[in-house]
Every structure is written in structure tokens, then in C-alpha cells.
Structure 1
């Protein structure tokens, strides 16, 4: 099966790189943490091996973009995130999660801003959206800081059906590249 690996990206504090099977132990730091998993769609991982199938099946679709977030200061893999294209509604859905030691530092916004920019430029993405449990105030703030606004009330369930959450979907319409350049020119005068 052909793999589609996104390029390595860099922000002020992070290196965003494709995940590999060698990341099993590091990924377990957040996928096995009940605090991180509380509102996630995947069930709580019980061991690093629970992530094997997910990691092995990444990068099989060019429009499913996943990155590991490496904290430059320590070289530690601290989270992951990406964007997935939904052709039926012509939108890109964002998703992310971080080890709880790195919450409330602006790192999710920093990472996702860079990924959104990459997807927008590479695939001419027009709309992004994200869904979060109404009780997940952290994800709500991330989406607001990304410039996303309320779109609709929804709900989602964990993949194993163990729990269903009342949720909100936020979205953002992205400007076309030529509109962005015009806006930048106006602001730079």
C-alpha cells in the first residue's frame, strides 16, 4: 500500500513530523492517560501496543494529514494532530491531543495553525471544522484562537460506543490565496 507522508514542518517551539511505529511508547503517554482521553473518540489505551494498528494505518490517504508534535526544548513527542478531508461536505476536520503536562501553553494552537496553513496552501482548503464535547473548554478555546466560530450543536460517540457526548461544531471559511495576499498588502501599507 502506497504511503503519503506530509513534510516536516516547524513552528517556534515545535517540530511537526510524521508518526512512526517507533513512537508507540511516546504516544501511549497521552492515549493511555484518562485525563487526555476523557473527551477523545478513541477508547483509553491500556498498553502501548493498543496504538500499533492506528500507527500502521496512518498515511494511506493523501488527504488524511497526521503529525506528531515534538517539543524542541526537550526533543519529546508530546502530542499529535492533523486534518482529515470530508469530501461529502467539502471540509477539512481538525483534531489534536496533547500530553496533559503541555496543556494551557498555546501549543495546540501553534501546531494546528501551521498544519492548517500547510493544508490550505497544498490542497486549497476552503473550510475547516472541528467538533468538541461541550464540557471540553480547552478544545473550545483552541478552536476560538484558531479563528473558528460556532456552526451547530452536534453529538459524537467513542469508537467503542461506550460514551456519547453533546458537542459543538465550530468552523472557519478560509480565504483564497489571492485574497490573503491582497489583505496582507493592505495591512502592510
Structure 2
């Protein structure tokens, strides 16, 4: 008999947002975001095939680690506005956070609001001792989000050939 898995992606709510599981219907906007040179300037762009792998990888993290990525939905309109995650990078025992807001919604505080909800979840529900964020050098918007979350610059390193700044925050 085959093993049966039940995966439950926790829903998080803020004043304006719902953080929820990825859905196949979310893929089009996700792929558009990754193919847009301006939106993906710090992430690296991806064609549809690569975007599909990334999308499925994000969703599949929940199965493997009980942590992963959420789609960010505007509570008032139901519109998809980005994604946010709390996950473990391969080989790391430190939880990592990431956030992306789709370009049409830049400058509206969505990344701040969604990431703050995830940070609360990481510390209060998961009881993780610390969390980090990897922010591409030059990505001032993401740097500001990390700093608003109380994360402090730790060091500069390299990831996939790109200069990355590591920000860290401990529970407390």
C-alpha cells in the first residue's frame, strides 16, 4: 500500500493580504514576473519552462520541509500580487525568507506586510531560533524590507555567481 501524505500550507492573514498555497492558476503571473527583465533584474530571468520548475519547487518545499512559499493575494480584490517564502536552502539548517512583489504592485508596502507576517509565523509558530534573507547587492527595496523586519547585515557572499548580502535576525 502506498504512503499517503497530507500537506497543509498554513494560511496567514494581514490587514490587506492573504498568504496562501500556490495554485496552478497562479503560474501565469509567476512566469510573467520571472520573464520580465525589470522584475527579475536581481533574481535572474527565467523562461516558461524554468519558471514552471521554480514554481513547482517552491510548492514542493512544503512536502519536504513543512516550509515553503506562499502566493500573496489582495484580500479585497482576490488579485495575486506576489509571493513570499520561509524555507530551508539545501544543506542549511537556518530558515531563509524571500519575497517578490509583482511589478504592478511595487511601492505599496506589500513585501513589508507579507514578510512581517511570515517572520511572525517563523518565530512564533515554528519557533525557529533565527532567520536569514539573501538580498542581491544593489537591491535597495529588498534591503529596506530586511531592515524593517529587524534583520541586520551579516556578510557579503556569492550565490550562483552573484554578489549577495546576508541579513540575519534571531528570535527574541
| TM-score higher than 0.5 | yes
What is residue 164 of structure 2 aligned with on the other side? 167
Confirm or deny: 8 A CA contact 1:21 1:55 kept in the other structure. Answer: no
RMSD: 2.1
How far is 1:86 from its partner?
A: 5.3
Q: Which SS does the other structure have where 1:74 is aligned?
A: coil
Partner of 1:36: 39
Distance (whole Å) between structure 2 residues aligned to residue 144 and residue 154 of structure 1: 18
Consecutive unaligned residues in structure 1, runs of 5 or more: 158-163, 176-189
Summarize deviations over 1:62-118 as a string: whole Å, max 9, x none: 343210001123211111111113596542111111111212221111101111211
Larger of the two Rg values belongs to structure: 1
Q: Which runs of 4+ in 1 moved over 4 A?
A: 86-89
Q: Tell me if structure 2 keeps the 8 A contact 1:70–1:78.
A: yes
> How far apart, CA to CA, are the structure 1 residues paired with 2:17 and 2:84?
12
Please report how far the alpha carbon of residue 129 of structure 1 lies from its aligned counterpart in structure 2 after TM superposition: 0.6
Report if the CA contact (8 A) 2:122-2:128 is conserved.
Answer: yes
Q: Is the 8 A contact 2:30 2:55 kept in 1?
A: no
Whether the 8 Å contact between 1:4 and 1:61 is mirrored in structure 2 is: no
Q: Deviations over 1:99-149 (max 9, x none)?
A: 112122211111011112112222211101111122111110010011101
Deviation at residue 10 of structure 1 after TM alignment: 0.8
Deviates most, 147-156 or 20-29: 20-29
Relative contact order (alpha carbons < 8 A, sep ≥ 6): 1 or 2 greater?
1
The superposition leaves residues 38-81 of structure 1 with CA deviations (integer Å, 9 ceiling, x where unpaired) of 111xx42333x543333334232234321000112321111111
- Is residue 24 of structure 1 aligned with residue 27 of structure 2? yes
Residue pair 2:123, 2:129 contacting (<8 A) in 1 also: yes
Count matched residues. 166
The runs of 5 or more residues in structure 2 that have no matched partner are none
TM-score by length of 1: 0.78
Q: In structure 2, what is the Cα distance between the partners aligned to 1:122 and 1:85?
A: 16
Q: Does 1:54 align with 2:54?
A: yes
